[in-house]
Amino acid sequence: MFKRVLIANRGEIALRIIRACRELSIEAVCVYSTADREAPYLRLADRAICIGAAPAKESYINIARIIAAAEIADADAIHPGYGFLAERADFSQVCRDCKIEFIGPTPEAMGKLGDKIACKQTAKAARVPTFPGSDGAVTEEEEAVEVAGKIGYPVIIKAAAGGGGRGMRVCRTEASLRMNLRAASQEAQAAFGDGSVFIEKFLEHARHVEVQVLGDKHGHAIHLYERDCSMQRRHQKVIEEAPGPDIERRKRDAVCEAAARLVKAANYHGAATVEFLMDEKQNFYMLEVNTRVQVEHPVTELITGIDIVKATIRVAAGERLPWKQSDIHVRGHAMECRINAEDPEHGFRPSPGRIAVFEPPGGPGVRMDTHAVAGYTVPPNYDSMIGKLIVHADDRGQCIDRMARALAEFRVEPIKTTIPLHQRLMQDAGFRAGGVDIHYLERLLK
């Protein structure tokens, strides 16, 4: 096992990784930017090293500074968390070159799954369902028109290098496809340095269902069942839950087994999430793979009892996953509300600043993953998420009631947060019924 791990992240996930290291008797070294200098979680690390100024380019995504900090601290490994450098194959490669273990996939596995076109090809070869569409990138307008004619409109143009919904265009007619193709490619080239685009059948009323997977370095991979993340706004998830509401047993086993097959085919180790869209008949189509621990991993931890962050450290150190697939069971229902320092009353504008009152909820079945405390100042430089409220109960109805109870206990003042939005959603009939689609929240907020 590692002696010392450097955490190349900040905020709640840095704290989550510190806690995992503690329980594994590993020393935790944090890095921080000047904007996070006073953050209280840094005191829970064995050591904290300042790596630069507030802009992420000068600190949290600056590979040279992260590696320098790891060398200074003599860390054996680096945990990237999510965001920042977590899905950068070049960073995984630099870690390898510097003989520091990257706690995550190899650059080769990221290449197979992180690029959307490559991932779709890997998926097809592993008999994982994908949307019908172009085989690989389309460059010629006539080729795109031919493919669209075959699969039928509407179609969607996607950037191979895009993510989180950037670089997508829905085309409902041939004229629109012809109009959008070159613009989409130019936009992708400007945004990602890669102009490759592909097209596929567009699904109108979809749910976002994703499968948590873990792989080790010995060719073993298991899934930890699915999460439903359909409650989202502008590609930012708002609520995640597990298991997915009302998914038929057979469909669910099929999608979860497909996800495990896919990561096995890529010789993947570490945590991954395979994203799918699910149609009204509960058919699944793979979208993309996230090659990291995700924000919403705690809901899966609560229903399976598995510590996913500890598992990522153990498999990176070469340990075998101690579970067979048949050891994994789902118990009850879990839900996560992302608490953002944003004002839902005013277009979700960021609301950074000093938190004078911070009284998080507690009691049975309540977990709070946050780095915030009373007196903490939310810096304006990063993501606005200040914590996650996660609850577990015997079934979905009780889980929602428990979440409503926990939200009612929660006091954060004077900054604005998404707590009132979550309170409203816990009383919303459509949400309570279960199975909302990915456009539900945007419709509700109109």
State the burial class of residue 50 (Cβ atoms within 10 Å of its Cβ: 0-12, 13-18, 19+): middle
Provide, rounded to whole angstroms, the least separation between the CB of residue 88 and ligand MV4: 18
Question: From the list 136, 152, 165, 414, which residue makes contact with ligand MV4 (rule: CB under 6 A)?
Answer: 165
Under 8 Å CB-to-CB from 391, ≥6 apart: which residues?
A: 334, 335, 365, 366, 367, 399, 402, 403, 406
Asked if 201 interacts with ligand MV4 (CB under 6 A), we say yes
Q: What DSSP designation does 345 have?
A: G
Closer residue to ligand MV4 in complex, CB, 42/438:
438
Asked if 202 interacts with ligand MV4 (CB under 6 A), we say yes
Asked if 15 interacts with ligand MV4 (CB under 6 A), we say no
Provide, rounded to whole angstroms, the least separation between the CB of residue 286 and ligand MV4: 10
User: Helices 89-97 & 107-114, crossing angle to 10 degrees?
Assistant: 170
Provide, rounded to whole angstroms, the least separation between the CB of residue 234 and ligand MV4: 8
Q: What letter represents residue 171's amino acid?
A: C
Exposure string (b/e) for 293-306, b if CB count within 10 Å is 16 or more?
Answer: bbbbbbbbbbbbeb
Asked if 355 interacts with ligand MV4 (CB under 6 A), we say no
- 434: tokens are 């279960």
Q: How many residues bind ligand MV4 (CB under 6 A)?
A: 16
> Parallel, antiparallel, or unpaired for β 4-7 and 27-33?
parallel
Q: Which stretch in 54-62, 94-102, 203-211, 398-406 sits in contact with ligand MV4 by CB under 6 A?
A: 203-211
Q: What DSSP designation does 133 have?
A: B
Applying the rule CB under 6 A, the residues between 115 and 134 that interact with ligand MV4 are 131
Provide, rounded to whole angstroms, the least separation between the CB of residue 392 and ligand MV4: 24
Q: Which stretch in 31-39, 69-77, 200-208, 245-253 sits in contact with ligand MV4 by CB under 6 A?
A: 200-208
Q: Which stretch in 37-45, 195-203, 327-335, 366-374 sits in contact with ligand MV4 by CB under 6 A?
A: 195-203
Exposure string (b/e) for 228-261, b if CB count within 10 Å is 16 or more?
Answer: bbbbbbeebbbbbbbbbbebeeebbeebbebbbb
Question: From the list 208, 269, 314, 416, which residue makes contact with ligand MV4 (rule: CB under 6 A)?
Answer: 208
Closer residue to ligand MV4 in complex, CB, 22/439:
439
Under 8 Å CB-to-CB from 139, ≥6 apart: which residues?
A: none
Question: From the list 69, 100, 110, 156, which residue makes contact with ligand MV4 (rule: CB under 6 A)?
Answer: 156
Contact 144, 196 (CB under 8 A): no
What SS3 class is residue 110? Answer: helix
Question: From the list 134, 232, 290, 418, which residue makes contact with ligand MV4 (rule: CB under 6 A)?
Answer: 232
Look at residues 180, 125, 171, 131 and name the one whose alpha carbon lies nearest to residue 151: 131
Look at residues 321, 274, 308, 283 and name the one whose alpha carbon lies nearest to residue 390: 308
Closer residue to ligand MV4 in complex, CB, 232/273:
232
Provide, rounded to whole angstroms, the least separation between the CB of residue 174 and ligand MV4: 18
Q: Which stretch in 95-103, 196-204, 263-271, 315-323 sits in contact with ligand MV4 by CB under 6 A?
A: 196-204
Q: Peptide bond before 80: cis, by omega within 30 degrees of 0?
A: no
Contact 49, 29 (CB under 8 A): yes
Place of tokens 């998926």: 123
Question: From the list 12, 76, 200, 226, which residue makes contact with ligand MV4 (rule: CB under 6 A)?
Answer: 200
Give the catalytic positions in this structure.
Answer: 292
Please report, in angstroms and rounded to a whole number, the separation of the first and last CA atoms in the chain. Answer: 52
Look at residues 338, 416, 417, 408 and name the one whose alpha carbon lies nearest to residue 12: 338
Applying the rule CB under 6 A, the residues between 311 and 350 that interact with ligand MV4 are none
Quick note: the x/- pattern for ligand MV4 over 265-284, rule CB under 6 A, is: ------------x-------
Look at residues 10, 63, 57, 56 and name the one whose alpha carbon lies nearest to residue 37: 10
Closer residue to ligand MV4 in complex, CB, 18/119:
119
Provide, rounded to whole angstroms, the least separation between the CB of residue 208 and ligand MV4: 4
Provide, rounded to whole angstroms, the least separation between the CB of residue 210 and ligand MV4: 9
- Which spans of this chain sit near ligand MV4 (rule: CB under 6 A)? 131, 156, 165, 168, 200-203, 206, 208, 232, 235, 277, 287-288, 438
